[in-house]
Amino acid sequence: MSYFATLAWEDPVVERMVSKTIKRDSYKDLVDDVKELLKKYEPRDAELETCAMQEDLGDGISSWEDITEKVQKEIN
């Protein structure tokens, strides 16, 4: 399984929303790194935008699950 999270914030230089997406191999690593990145980008008012879990089903086929709410509960 792979775990993804996207953080986003308004960038005053380019005057639009920008984002950073991370991929981790475990749920725990994802949550820990999201916490660290939110702290790192706190001056930019970064917010957790979305999180997902991807399961490789083989033959190039994947299954995705939205885990944003679950991660939000962990980081708050």
pLDDT digits (tens, 9 = 90+) for 12-60: 787 889 999 999 999 999 999 999 999 999 999 999 999 999 999 999 8
CA distance linking residue 25 with residue 27, whole number of Å: 7
- Are the CB atoms for 67 and 48 separated by under 8 Å? no
CA distance linking residue 32 with residue 29, whole number of Å: 5
* Confidence at 76, pLDDT banded by 50, 70, 90: confident
- What is the helix, strand, coil percentage profile of the chain, to 5? 35, 50, 20
| Range list of H helices, the chain | 27-40, 68-75
Tell me the mean pLDDT in the region 64-68.
97
Would you state the pLDDT for residue 19? 95
Would you state the pLDDT for residue 62? 94
